[in-house]
Structure 1
Amino acid sequence: MTLERPDPVAPAAPTATYRLQLQPEFPFGAAEAAVPYLASLGVSHLHLSPVLEAVPGSGHGYDVVDHARVRAELGGEAGLRSLSRAAREHGLGLVMDIVPNHMAMAPRHNRALWEVLREGPGSPYAHWFDIDWQAQDGRVLLPVLGGPLGEETDALVVDGDVLRYHDHEFPLRAGTEDLPLPGLLDAQWYRLAWWRLARTELNYRRFFSISELIGVRVEDPEVFAATHAKILELLDDGVVDGLRIDHPDGLADPDAYLRRLHEATGGRWTVVEKILADGEPLPAAWPVAGTTGYDALRHVDGLFTDPAGAGELLGQYRRFAAPQADRGGVWEATVRRAAYKVVHHELAAEVERLTREADRLCRTSDDPALRDRAPWALRTALRELLVRMEVYRPYASQDAASVVTEAAADEARQAFKVPEEAHTVDLVRDLVLGRAGDGPGHEAFRARFAQTSSALRAKSVEDTAFYRYVPLLSATEVGGEPGSPAVSPEVFHAYCARVQRDWPLSGTVLSTHDTKRSADVRAAVSVLTQAPSRWADLLAEVTARTAAEGVGAPDPQVAWASWQTAVGLGPADGERLGGALLKHVREAGLATAWTEQDPAYEDAVAAFLEAGPCGAPGRLVAEFRSSLEPYVRSNVLGAALVHLTMPGVPDLYQGTESEYRALVDPDNRRPAPFPPKDPGGLSAEKAALTTAALRLRRRRPAVFGEAAAYAPLPALGPGAAHCLAFTRSGEVITAVTRLSLRLEEEGGWRDTVLPLPAGRWADLLTPGREFTGHARVDTLFGRLPVVLLERVPEGAAAGT
């Protein structure tokens, strides 16, 4: 079934977007009240977090329960349409975040799921969800019980045709409501189970390892139509202009999904939350504008990271924390170790499903070479190939052999002691590459391998290794490359040239609802790469002071991470810092975890934070941070200006037009005040810079848009390496200071000049200043460590 849509004239692509994190505490009405202020910034579109009906009270909206309705807690469809009208009256459009991959596993609120649990595989909604009905005796495992079933039966209550368990509700299969409880439970299309069984027994696809989010089969045209009808209606009615696609890598076939979506929307501006590994290209076949911008984040952050200092920090970290090589001392080994942990534990159920499907393909194959393969060997081969994936997944439009490589297969064979059994790796790889048979079963297996690979990469890298390998916390960010955190100007310029050539309307970001630290926190932490010896002295002193209080850190790794976080955040807020560090140690999974919590260890972490970063030694951190403020300022303003003027469409996260210090969610999802409180100092400077750059983009879209040009502008002289500059379409110049502390230690700018293209250039950040020819860099950066210049039209009077 293909949706027939009119072919409207697509709205112009955004010049800049502003992300609003909608929630019951910040609904459509609050967003509408903020519209006049947001329009004054110079953005062209508001970027809304998911707006469809979600689990009541959800603070993020990614747990959708009904695709046909706009969320009532936010103000419903009337509220959304009112927001859209207000936005348009102020010259703004709307971009909407959508969630095609999953829905909330909340039967009481999710009508489609309710029907499946009541009617089983015969339900008209059964094909909506990615359930393996051949497992669990044809029932859906629901891991919701607080303990084994025998210990929870007293909490199970039959109420008419509904089964209740505390605040959970489940439908009863028709005609079973009068059965005795044991028989009633056995007669359902689902099996209530202890939550711990999810790890190994689950038989539905989920989002990563979150059992509360069930995978949706949007590859089915009917499911696509049903789950996208309201979204397409909002686009057709002009309520919304563009889309952000959440987690496309979880889909069975992202290529086909994006083609179908492109056709259905009439080619609206669409970006995808695709996390690219270093050097990995976005699939050229995808009909999208580009990514949501984590690749840009890594390149911008890397500009303000000193490679030599990062190496010194790594050496200090290894001496201070003494991590084992495979548990945080070496990046590549940390990732591999984390992948093994995730594939054996959090994603054990997903690997078991892959194993069952591979076993079925082998047992039913007409090819004798596929027969007689032991499930344990298939499981081992799958695990060994999965942990060696260096990108999220293969795609149908790409050569899968370039991702599931022969080198990976060669390593995977080493896990087998008997050479004949090692050939199972080749068989599994052939199945993944489509070389061993074809047909619906083989295609489904390839898709599921890719989906599992995606979940494994995300869980092992972003949610585990990033919390185990912590020499430089500013580098452990979504899309980051902690093993090589610095980016040279040459690499940055080459990246920008590729973006302008291949994906000129791609999104770019510095802070999002998913970043582990906001850009301004990372900017402060990255200064440590310019002052590693000063950091070492601080660490020694605060360690001694905290020990003198009689409270030591439960382990040196968490101490290192705590002190760095305190440097980034500034004056330590105990509740915010405590929440972030608790999540840190649970995600790392080295001493405690979400599902295997160690209360004594967690209490020790809390006691250390109270006595150390949030206690008297924390004042030393505040003094240290204060001494670095000029260099933090340079990083904050430099990153902001580069982000706002580089190729792509910049997305500003709420509140980041001023200085914004936030830690991992939920800290970074708190409602932002609009307009912000009267900013001063760095906040005022950043707000003025942001407004100037955004208004320039809105006023001169062609200079930054699809047909624009990008060119490096090299400085000359002793400080040239510290000046990063480029031109946009020959009409605008961005120049920023990088590694400002190192620059100061080297004697400053001295006779460094920036050769400007012919003509007069007006300073948009300090009105009244103009430059021509070879401008002295110390003059350009006289008031601010950055400058934004616009070519003055020929014949214009001076100062206009």
Structure 2
Amino acid sequence: MTPTATYRLQIQPEFPFSAAGEAVPYLAALGVSHLHLSPVLGAVPGSTHGYDVVDHARVRDELGGEAGLRALADTARTHGLGLVLDIVPNHMAASPRYNRPLWEVLREGPVSPYARWFDIDWESGGGKVLLPVLGHRIGDELDRLEVDGEMLRYYDHLFPLREGTAGLPLPELLDAQWYRLTWWRLARTELNYRRFFTISDLIGVRVEDPAVFVATHAKVLELMQDGVIDGLRIDHPDGLADPGTYLRRLGEATAGRWTVVEKILTGDERLPADWAVAGTTGYDALHRIDGLFADPAGVGELLRHYRDYAGPSGDRGGYWESTVRRAAYKVLTHELAAETAFLVRTAEQICAADPALRDHAPWTLRVALRELLVRLPVYRPYVTAGGPTPDTAEATLDPETVRQAAASFPVAEEAAAVGVVRDLALGKLGDGPAHAAFCARFAQTSSALRAKSVEDTAFYRYAPLVSAGEVGGDPGAPAVSPSEFHAFCARLARDWPGSGTVLTTHDTKRSADVRARIAVLTECPERWAELLGLLTTPAPDPHLAWIAWQTAFGFGRPDPERLGPALLKSVREAGLHTSWTEQNPAYEQAVADFVAAGPAGPPYSAVARFARALDPYVRANTLGAALVHLTMPGVPDLYQGTEGTYLALVDPDNRRPPVPVDPSDEKLAVTTTALLLRRDFPDVFGESGTYAPVSAEGSAAAHCLAFCRSGEVVTAVTRLSLRLADAGGWRDTELPLPAGVWLDLLAPEREFTGRVAVRELFAVRPVALLKRVVRTAPGARG
């Protein structure tokens, strides 16, 4: 069955299955229908997230093992709850010590039955798998390598030895293996296995191979067949060679159980209609909900102040589109250099074997590939070599994209390489092994490029409104009008009623409540600029200062232990003054000193005074976003602790074990009321339910967003409440309710009918949740 609402728990050694079991009675009373568990299969010991899978055949012992998972399922069942499990089909940890399939490949080479599990380019590696694990060049590390029986040891790394090589002298022994140990910095250009994004510690899995699919999904399918698991969340389907086929195969194996995919949709991009899923995990909804509470005029004013204060230009985020493009060039030519080289080599092989393509010079193929990849407006096309080309794939590499890419060539005849690369990417030039490899890897590389250049770079370089830098968002145009939101909800109700919706996840850079606070700045950009003029603590650069003060304002307290790591991560991700791989100790120390002296020090008192004056408007944003999320079409997923006020920054800050929510928290009351309503009236909100806008009328109508679910429930919230107050309040604004008597479940003594003065509707709270009253007899209420 489709869940009515799910609750995400980050299962980890500090919060195992037993701890989750203790939370079940509370979560059942909250009103959710399913617990949503982070990955629970065998992972690297000590992992706090579980995405570094090493063993698909067992449930992780550190969490309580399979017995613990089954006991949790039993406890959940007794309280009316089911389980949804997050699974990771795309990658495993590249740690041979714990990853047995990889161990066997390294021991036996390409003849190993496990060699088919991984995308390894044996030819480019000279018949060896490159393992970038050494701290320095191998010549400086030989004394730290030692033979231990049939293994090779390097600190806590263990590697198998090829049969018959254990007794060789070390230099000969190293040359005799099916792998090559190298300096970690060589991964950027020399790596010859597919990885997750740019993380060499996570090796890609060829789940498109039927045998690999069976081996990696047997335990999950067994748990589902036994009734332990009811649904699935699929991590990063864009990393797969053929997501559509994978999802069809999975749907058949699970008999169509509820499944959502972590698919990031860009702009107006739609989820492929033929995917055998209920929908996405909900980042598309997150962007629309957040956008409702961003003032479009204020966004423009804030951008002007940002440019004046931070002085961004070029790489430093002066303009959104150019920031994304520059970041994409950098990621493609540096972090993804090995992936680019594979595509160029493959294209060269295809052209060399085809007389009609033979005269395309390698450099033209390289430039064409680069110019097309950096211009992709979405994460990837969905097409397989030799198969039909979906319209969505054609749109991804449309004529205008091709024209812009071709303009990079000085000679038109050389620009013809752009068409060749495009047709290879769309599977139009053949269906041989090389064609299939190029088509699949182009799509996989484009998704990695988009994630790294946008999510992990541009979001940190372009920051007039830092809350807009979330997955699936558009920092260049963060505001969403009510009409745009209603159109999105109508499509969701019609096409994907079982899709997931979220506001906070384990991957959001800032929790929903932090973003709701920051969004208020779009309603008072002049006041924000005045405040910054008073905050004179010296910063390493003004761009960092802008981000740091907005982050501190959103976080709500001067906490160096949590603000410091988040801001250090932001400057490393931006890669302007320091980075993860080229760290600048002096700059990073200056960042730490600034945070301690400014956002996490005494000057924060000025921010606190500023924030207190905005508390009523923060309240409206926080409660409004929560109520819209819980009552709009789709299946809401609540991240642990977000039923109450939850202030968290980027991981690992947001992955700490949950703490109890204050029972008096107003957000908890709103959340519980909405969830219990969903549980008690599943038809109103479920796949058969309907969605209809309810339009306010009057001078402040734009500040009231309302909609009706199945004619039985009306949600109404206040948006842009500070602008509303500055304009004189609700005045003559009314909300015409559908026929009937309506009870506000958030203030049960209050009933409404007909045309309601919005100032009366929101007299108790800036939000209202109305349920149609059914009278069973005169004077009685049903």
Q: Same fold (TM over 0.5)?
A: yes
**Which residue of structure 2 aligns with residue 779 of structure 1?**
760
Confirm whether residue 303 of structure 1 aligns to residue 289 of structure 2: no
Amino acid across the alignment from 2:733: T
Aligned residues of 2:350 and 2:435 also touching (Cα < 8 A): yes
The CA deviation string for residues 500-542 of structure 1, in whole angstroms up to 9 with x for no partner, is 0000000000000000000000000000000101101110001
**Which residue of structure 2 aligns with residue 121 of structure 1?**
110
Aligned residues of 1:327 and 1:333 also touching (Cα < 8 A): no
Amino acid across the alignment from 2:518: V
Aligned residues of 1:283 and 1:398 also touching (Cα < 8 A): no
**Which residue of structure 2 aligns with residue 678 of structure 1?**
662
Partners in 2 of 1:468 and 1:342 — Cα distance?
14
Partners in 1 of 2:44 and 2:315 — Cα distance?
39
Partners in 2 of 1:72 and 1:718 — Cα distance?
61
Partners in 1 of 2:420 and 2:7 — Cα distance?
48
Aligned residues of 1:107 and 1:113 also touching (Cα < 8 A): yes
Confirm whether residue 65 of structure 1 aligns to residue 46 of structure 2: no
Confirm whether residue 160 of structure 1 aligns to residue 160 of structure 2: no
**Which residue of structure 2 aligns with residue 291 of structure 1?**
280
The CA deviation string for residues 328-376 of structure 1, in whole angstroms up to 9 with x for no partner, is 01000000000000000110000001111111111122xx221133322
Amino acid across the alignment from 2:372: L
Partners in 1 of 2:638 and 2:661 — Cα distance?
18
Aligned residues of 1:768 and 1:799 also touching (Cα < 8 A): no
2:686 pairs with one of 705, 729, 732: 705
Partners in 1 of 2:575 and 2:691 — Cα distance?
44
Partners in 2 of 1:616 and 1:692 — Cα distance?
40
Aligned pairs (5 A) from 1:625-664: 625-664=611-650
Amino acid across the alignment from 2:417: T
Instruction: Report the Cα offset of residue 22 of structure 1.
Output: 0.6
Aligned pairs (5 A) from 1:718-729: 718-729=699-710
Partners in 1 of 2:415 and 2:760 — Cα distance?
67
Amino acid across the alignment from 1:32: G
* Partner SS, residue 648 of structure 2: coil
Runs of 5+ consecutive residues of structure 2 not aligned to the other structure: 384-388
Partners in 2 of 1:358 and 1:234 — Cα distance?
43
**Which residue of structure 2 aligns with residue 525 of structure 1?**
518
Amino acid across the alignment from 1:686: K
**Which residue of structure 2 aligns with residue 736 of structure 1?**
717
* Partner SS, residue 126 of structure 2: helix
Aligned pairs (5 A) from 1:142-153: 142-153=131-142
1:616 pairs with one of 602, 608, 630: 602
Amino acid across the alignment from 1:435: K
Name the Cα RMSD after superposition.
1.0
The CA deviation string for residues 298-354 of structure 1, in whole angstroms up to 9 with x for no partner, is 000000000000100000001111111443010000000000000001100000011
* Partner SS, residue 735 of structure 2: strand
Aligned residues of 1:763 and 1:788 also touching (Cα < 8 A): yes
**Which residue of structure 2 aligns with residue 500 of structure 1?**
493
Amino acid across the alignment from 1:781: F
Aligned residues of 2:555 and 2:648 also touching (Cα < 8 A): yes
Partners in 1 of 2:661 and 2:269 — Cα distance?
41
Aligned residues of 1:108 and 1:168 also touching (Cα < 8 A): yes
Partners in 2 of 1:736 and 1:463 — Cα distance?
33
The CA deviation string for residues 180-233 of structure 1, in whole angstroms up to 9 with x for no partner, is 111100110000000000000000000000000000000000000000000100
Aligned residues of 2:641 and 2:661 also touching (Cα < 8 A): no
Q: Judging changes above 3 Å, is the alpha-carbon distance between structure 1 residues 677 and 494 closer, same or farther for their aligned structure 2 residues?
A: closer
Partners in 1 of 2:171 and 2:402 — Cα distance?
48
The CA deviation string for residues 34-64 of structure 1, in whole angstroms up to 9 with x for no partner, is 0000000000000000010000000100000
Amino acid across the alignment from 2:364: A
Confirm whether residue 429 of structure 1 aligns to residue 415 of structure 2: no
Q: Which stretch of structure 1 is more off in the superposition, 293-302 or 758-767?
A: 758-767
Aligned residues of 1:770 and 1:799 also touching (Cα < 8 A): no
**Which residue of structure 2 aligns with residue 409 of structure 1?**
402
Partners in 2 of 1:771 and 1:293 — Cα distance?
33
Aligned residues of 1:327 and 1:337 also touching (Cα < 8 A): no
* Partner SS, residue 481 of structure 1: coil
**Which residue of structure 1 aligns with residue 370 of structure 2?**
383
Partners in 2 of 1:403 and 1:387 — Cα distance?
12
The CA deviation string for residues 385-421 of structure 1, in whole angstroms up to 9 with x for no partner, is 1000000000026232211122122111222223332
The CA deviation string for residues 637-677 of structure 1, in whole angstroms up to 9 with x for no partner, is 0000000000000000000000000000000000002xx15
Instruction: Report the Cα offset of residue 799 of structure 1.
Output: 5.9
Q: Which runs of 4+ in 1 moved over 6 A?
A: none
Instruction: Report the Cα offset of residue 457 of structure 1.
Output: 0.4
Q: TM-score, normalised by structure 1?
A: 0.96
Partners in 2 of 1:249 and 1:264 — Cα distance?
20
Partners in 2 of 1:357 and 1:363 — Cα distance?
10
Aligned residues of 2:773 and 2:781 also touching (Cα < 8 A): no
Identity of aligned residues (%): 71
Partners in 2 of 1:43 and 1:404 — Cα distance?
42
Instruction: Report the Cα offset of residue 699 of structure 1.
Output: 0.2
**Which residue of structure 1 aligns with residue 33 of structure 2?**
44
Confirm whether residue 665 of structure 1 aligns to residue 646 of structure 2: no
Confirm whether residue 398 of structure 1 aligns to residue 390 of structure 2: yes
1:370 pairs with one of 357, 366, 370: 357
Partners in 2 of 1:324 and 1:42 — Cα distance?
49
**Which residue of structure 1 aligns with residue 85 of structure 2?**
96
**Which residue of structure 1 aligns with residue 571 of structure 2?**
585
**Which residue of structure 2 aligns with residue 601 of structure 1?**
587
Aligned residues of 2:37 and 2:83 also touching (Cα < 8 A): yes
Confirm whether residue 173 of structure 1 aligns to residue 166 of structure 2: no
Instruction: Report the Cα offset of residue 434 of structure 1.
Output: 2.5
Instruction: Report the Cα offset of residue 130 of structure 1.
Output: 1.0
* Partner SS, residue 50 of structure 2: coil
Amino acid across the alignment from 1:157: E
Partners in 1 of 2:455 and 2:40 — Cα distance?
26
**Which residue of structure 2 aligns with residue 196 of structure 1?**
185
The CA deviation string for residues 74-101 of structure 1, in whole angstroms up to 9 with x for no partner, is 0000000000000000000000000000
2:455 pairs with one of 459, 462, 467: 462
Partners in 1 of 2:340 and 2:361 — Cα distance?
15
Instruction: Report the Cα offset of residue 124 of structure 1.
Output: 0.6
2:238 pairs with one of 220, 225, 249: 249
Partners in 2 of 1:203 and 1:518 — Cα distance?
37
Partners in 2 of 1:33 and 1:609 — Cα distance?
38
The CA deviation string for residues 704-737 of structure 1, in whole angstroms up to 9 with x for no partner, is 0101100000111111110100000000000000
Aligned residues of 2:775 and 2:781 also touching (Cα < 8 A): no
Aligned residues of 1:385 and 1:409 also touching (Cα < 8 A): yes
The CA deviation string for residues 613-642 of structure 1, in whole angstroms up to 9 with x for no partner, is 112211101111111110000000000000
Aligned residues of 1:382 and 1:428 also touching (Cα < 8 A): yes
Partners in 2 of 1:732 and 1:295 — Cα distance?
23
**Which residue of structure 2 aligns with residue 271 of structure 1?**
260
**Which residue of structure 1 aligns with residue 386 of structure 2?**
none
* Partner SS, residue 414 of structure 2: helix
* Partner SS, residue 370 of structure 1: coil
Partners in 1 of 2:143 and 2:96 — Cα distance?
21
Partners in 2 of 1:522 and 1:49 — Cα distance?
23
Runs of 5+ consecutive residues of structure 1 not aligned to the other structure: 1-11, 547-551
Partners in 2 of 1:199 and 1:432 — Cα distance?
23
Amino acid across the alignment from 1:293: G
Count of aligned pairs between the two proteins: 775
* Partner SS, residue 593 of structure 1: coil
**Which residue of structure 2 aligns with residue 484 of structure 1?**
477
The CA deviation string for residues 141-161 of structure 1, in whole angstroms up to 9 with x for no partner, is 000000001000000000111
Amino acid across the alignment from 2:775: E
**Which residue of structure 2 aligns with residue 6 of structure 1?**
none
Aligned pairs (5 A) from 1:276-355: 276-355=265-344
* Partner SS, residue 637 of structure 1: helix
Amino acid across the alignment from 1:754: L
Instruction: Report the Cα offset of residue 444 of structure 1.
Output: 1.9
The CA deviation string for residues 764-799 of structure 1, in whole angstroms up to 9 with x for no partner, is 111121111111111111111000010011335456
Aligned residues of 1:22 and 1:74 also touching (Cα < 8 A): yes
Partners in 1 of 2:147 and 2:493 — Cα distance?
61
